[in-house]
Each structure stands twice: as C-alpha cells, then as structure tokens.
C-alpha cells in the first residue's frame, strides 16, 4: 500500500518517544514478537469468535491494542525488512521474498533497529544480531522427519541415499530444514515438535544473560507460528489451526511473564504479525475477521496475504508497557503502511478512504487467482462504512469527487518521495552452493546436532 515509510518510522518514534523513561528507569528493554501469517481475526480481542488467545487478550487488556495497524508489506521478507529498517521495500530494496539459495538478503548499508539500539548499549538477539537462533526461512521450506501440517501434506525427509520424487511440487523435499545458532547449523532437519520450546529457552537465556550483564536488551522473536501448523497433537475439541493458535498464545504468555520478571514497566512488549493469512492453505489458514475483501472475492482469488486488500496487511498489534502505555485502550490510529507485489504502490490510505490503483487476488483455497487490474481513476472504498471492501464509491458521487484530489496529491507525493529517496537495491541472485547444507554427502543434507557427523554411514 502506498502509505510511505515515514509511517513505520513514526511508529517506532511513537514507541520510543512515548517512553523516554524517568532516569530511575534507565533504558527500557524491547521485545518484539512477530507472528507469521496471522489473521486480524486470530486475536480474540479483535474478533469475538476467536477463543484461543486468552494470553494475548490479557496482554491487550493490560496494554493498547491497535486495530488499524498495518504491516509494511503483505509478504514475508519485505514486511520483516521494513519492520527492522522503518523503510518500505521500494526504499530498502527488499521487494520480494528471498529463496533458500539466495546469495543476498537485507542490504548491509540499511540501518536496522537492532543496530541503532546496539549503538545505544543494548544487547540484541533475533530468536543476525549479537545472538541468533532460528530456522532461516519458513518451516515448510525444507523437509523434516516429523512434517508439520500442510495442504496438501508434504512427506518426511528421505532417510537414506535415495531422494523420493515429491508428489507435490510445493513441497521442499531436497534439503532438510536447518536450525542455526549464529552461523552454525546445530540441527538438520530441525525437530518441529520441540522448535517452540527451543525458542522459549533461548529467549529466557538471552534475557537472563542481558540482565546479568546489566545491559538493556532488544529481543526480536520471530515465531514460526502461524504459517502452517507445526507438528502438534490437536485436542479433539479443536481443529488443527485452533490448536496451533493456542500454542502460540501460550508462548506469548510465557514471554510476558519473562518481561514482567524483569520488573513491571521495564520492558516494552510489542506483538504483531508480518502479513495476513495464507488463504491457499484452506482450513490451515488464519482468520480474516471482518476483512473479507468482498470486491476481490467476487472476481476470484484471495484478498489476504500477497495482496493489498485489508486482509493482506492489517494485522493484530498489541503494545504492553505497564505504567507507560495506557491499559485497556484500543487505538484507531493508523500505523505503518503496506506495499503490494514487488513493492509497488498499489493502494493508498487517506483517513477512512482507501484508493486502489492496482487490484488483484492471491491464490485462494479453491485455486483461483484474481487477475491484476489497473484503475484510473482509482477505486475508492470508505472503510468506515465498508470494512469488507465490497462496494467502491461511485465516481459520480460527491463523496468520491470530494476526496479524489487529496488522494491524487498523496499518491503523487508518495511516488515523488520514493523516487527522490536513497534507494537501495537488494541482491536476489541465487546459487545452489548457497543452500544451507550440513552434510553434502547426505541426500537431504542431514546431520546430527553439534557436529558435522553425517548420517550417511548409518
Ligand atoms: C552465538 O553467539 C553468542 C553471542 O556471541 C555466543 O554466546 C554463543 O556461544 C554462540 N553460539 C554458537 C553455537 O556459536
Ligand atoms: C522431537 O522433540 C520431541 C519433543 O521434545 C521429542 O519427544 C522427540 O523425541 C524429538 N524427536 C527426535 C527425533 O529427537
Ligand atoms: C546503499 O548503497 C547503495 C549502492 O551502493 C546506494 O545506492 C544506496 O543509496 C545506499 N543506501 C543507503 C540507505 O545509504
Ligand atoms: C544517502 O546515502 C548516502 C550514502 O550512503 C548518504 O551519504 C546520504 O546522507 C544519504 N542521504 C539521505 C537523504 O539519507
């Protein structure tokens, strides 16, 4: 969406600025928990039909919930790069997703939030910064021995020398999913059943170490949830997605306890998502709540992840900082902005008005994709009356004619501002040699934890 980067910058400024703490408080700690492909309706506080998020709802009750908060892109890498830099993909170069064999990533001359905080004396971790633990991409982008859920399902890694030909071309069966600590692969394939627990342990250890060293900390906890559910045993009364949502909610509850343990008010905890639900995964996808994108649905395709419909980038957002950020408040302030495919400015928001210059749908559960269409003059929806984006204003109406000049100006300004900015270009080239592989001897790059010992001898 066209709302330019300054909005993201503004958000960080608000978060930091709200809080210049009294000297006695010292520097606040920051914890950012980022969920993957979480729907706006996946937060019970946003959408009453959702019952699986008691801890998040409590966080919202004790903090401020932003109901008009937007990720900076409707796909993974661009959204995350923007979160860390405060700049949209068209500025920082990260306009689409990196692949397993990518040679590049976020360009080094872009400044991240972690770098700014590190210069201010912070200990930083991405669970890289000073410390890193995690899988380098989504948990369905490599095979595992106990695959998580998927639509259609994906097979486990081959155990021995022969690769099986995948029945589903969306399954990544060639390379086992690696778990990194800093630059070292510590497990390949990762055990999905214990991944969440490992993240929790690492978070707790990092916080403890930062406290022991007397330094404030910045922890960026980018969860594997809710992309597609990890390996879990769903209780009989709940679907797989609901069970995974429960699991994530419990994790957030534990992180909040860790934060409170540092002293209430010493830590700002910000929970949000990278983009909307991945509708092509059908019953394994998140919930849109009221963000139905009805205009697009009527033409085929999904109005969620990978699109600039509200469902693509309006995400749950909760900020918890006792004594500093008001409790029991929901804010309608519009924060951040989203860009469409390859970073183009497809749509623009001005107050309650949303103007589309380009529309299109992502792949839906039924396999349909809505074709890309260009609109001059733009389609304009009044979100106050039409949150489901069903019926654009008639061009002939007073309302349309009254708002169009301001929208056209804002659009031209956004394009001009981007064109005259420092534009960084990211390297999207790929090389099979860049694939993270613990043991090239094994067909699935398998190895044991803490060593280069390969399974091929077995
Ligand atoms: C990762 O980096 C941290 C911080 O520098 C260090 O304490 C830890 O031992 C490293 N772990 C590995 C496996 O390299
Ligand atoms: C994976 O983790 C689960 C949960 O901790 C554990 O029960 C299981 O034994 C692990 N599997 C392997 C192959 O280590
Ligand atoms: C990063 O480097 C590129 C190429 O060297 C340059 O064009 C761009 O302006 C730089 N970006 C920033 C934010 O300094
Ligand atoms: C653009 O980037 C150059 C080199 O990286 C830097 O010297 C300059 O200050 C930047 N300009 C702006 C407006 O950020």
Q: How far apart are CA 278 and CA 114, in angstroms?
A: 28
Share of the chain above pLDDT 70, in %: 88
Overall average pLDDT of the 65-76 stretch: 95
Q: What is the pLDDT of residue 102?
A: 93
Tell me which residue has tokens 């004790």.
Answer: 62
Q: What's the pLDDT tens digit per position in 178-202?
A: 999 999 999 999 999 999 999 999 9
Residue 454 has pLDDT above 70, yes or no: no
Residue 254 has pLDDT above 80, yes or no: yes
Q: Is residue 191 within 6 Å of ligand 2 at its C-beta?
A: yes
CA-based nearest residue to 210, from 258, 253, 270: 258
Q: What is the pLDDT of residue 172?
A: 81
**How many residues belong to the chain?**
458
Residue 17 has pLDDT above 90, yes or no: no
Higher pLDDT, 338 or 59: 59
* Domains by residue range for the chain, with CATH: 6-18+28-346 (3.40.720.10)
Q: How far is the CA of 312 from the centre of ligand 3 (A)?
A: 29
Atom number of ligand 4 nearest to Cα 422: 1
What contacts 386, CB < 8 A, 6 or more positions away? none
Residue 94 has pLDDT above 90, yes or no: yes
Q: Is residue 422 within 6 Å of ligand 3 at its C-beta?
A: yes
Q: What is the pLDDT of residue 7?
A: 36
Are residues 99 and 190 in contact, defined by beta-carbon separation less than 8 angstroms?
no
Q: What is the pLDDT of residue 4?
A: 36
Q: What's the pLDDT tens digit per position in 154-177?
A: 899 888 765 555 566 778 878 999
Q: What is the pLDDT of residue 458?
A: 27
- Write down the pTM of the prediction: 0.91
Residue 18 has pLDDT above 60, yes or no: no
Q: How far is the CA of 200 from the centre of ligand 1 (A)?
A: 16
Residue 24 has pLDDT above 50, yes or no: no
Residue 42 has pLDDT above 80, yes or no: yes
């Amino acid at each position: 969406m066209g709302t330019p980067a300054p909005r993201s910058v503004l958000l960080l400024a608000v978060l930091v600025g709200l809080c210049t703490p009294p000297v006695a408080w010292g520097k606040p700690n920051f914890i950012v928990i980022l969920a993957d492909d979480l729907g706006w309706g996946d937060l019970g506080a946003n959408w009453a039909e959702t019952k699986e998020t008691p801890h998040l709802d409590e966080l919202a009750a004790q903090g401020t919930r932003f109901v008009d908060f937007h990720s900076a892109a409707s796909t993974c890498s661009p959204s995350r790069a923007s979160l860390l830099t405060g700049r949209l993909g068209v500025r920082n170069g990260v306009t689409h997703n990196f692949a397993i064999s990518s040679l590049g990533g976020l360009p080094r001359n872009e400044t991240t939030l972690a770098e700014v905080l590190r210069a201010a004396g912070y200990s930083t971790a991405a669970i890289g910064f000073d410390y890193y633990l995690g899988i380098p991409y989504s948990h369905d982008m490599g095979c595992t021995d106990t695959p998580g859920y998927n639509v259609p399902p994906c097979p486990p890694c081959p155990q021995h020398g022969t690769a099986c030909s995948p029945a589903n071309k969306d399954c990544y069966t060639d390379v086992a999913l690696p778990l990194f600590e800093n630059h070292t692969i510590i497990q390949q394939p990762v055990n999905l059943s214990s991944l969440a627990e490992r993240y929790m342990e690492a978070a707790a250890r990092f916080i403890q170490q930062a406290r022991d060293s007397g330094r404030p900390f910045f922890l960026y906890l980018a969860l594997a949830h809710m992309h597609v559910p990890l390996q879990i045993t769903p209780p009989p009364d709940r679907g797989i997605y609901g069970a995974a949502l429960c699991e994530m909610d419990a994790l957030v509850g534990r992180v909040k306890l860790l934060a409170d343990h540092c002293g209430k008010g010493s830590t700002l905890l910000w929970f949000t998502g990278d983009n909307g639900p991945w509708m092509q995964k059908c019953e394994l996808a998140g919930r849109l709540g009221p963000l139905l994108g009805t205009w697009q649905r009527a033409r085929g395709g999904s109005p969620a992840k990978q699109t600039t419909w509200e469902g693509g980038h309006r995400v749950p957002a909760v900020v918890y900082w006792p004594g500093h950020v008001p409790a029991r408040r929901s804010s309608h302030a519009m924060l951040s902005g989203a860009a469409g495919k390859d970073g183009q400015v497809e749509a623009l928001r001005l107050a309650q008005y949303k103007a589309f210059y380009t529309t299109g749908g992502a792949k839906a559960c039924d396999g349909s994709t809505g074709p890309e269409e260009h609109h001059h003059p733009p389609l304009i929806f009044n979100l106050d009356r039409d949150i489901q984006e069903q019926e654009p204003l008639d061009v002939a109406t007073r309302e349309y004619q009254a708002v169009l000049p301001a929208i056209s100006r804002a659009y031209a300004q956004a394009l001009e501002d981007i064109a005259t900015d420092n534009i960084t270009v990211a390297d999207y080239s790929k090389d099979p040699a860049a694939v993270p592989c613990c043991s090239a001897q094994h067909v699935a790059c398998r190895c044991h934890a803490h060593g280069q010992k390969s399974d091929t001898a077995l």
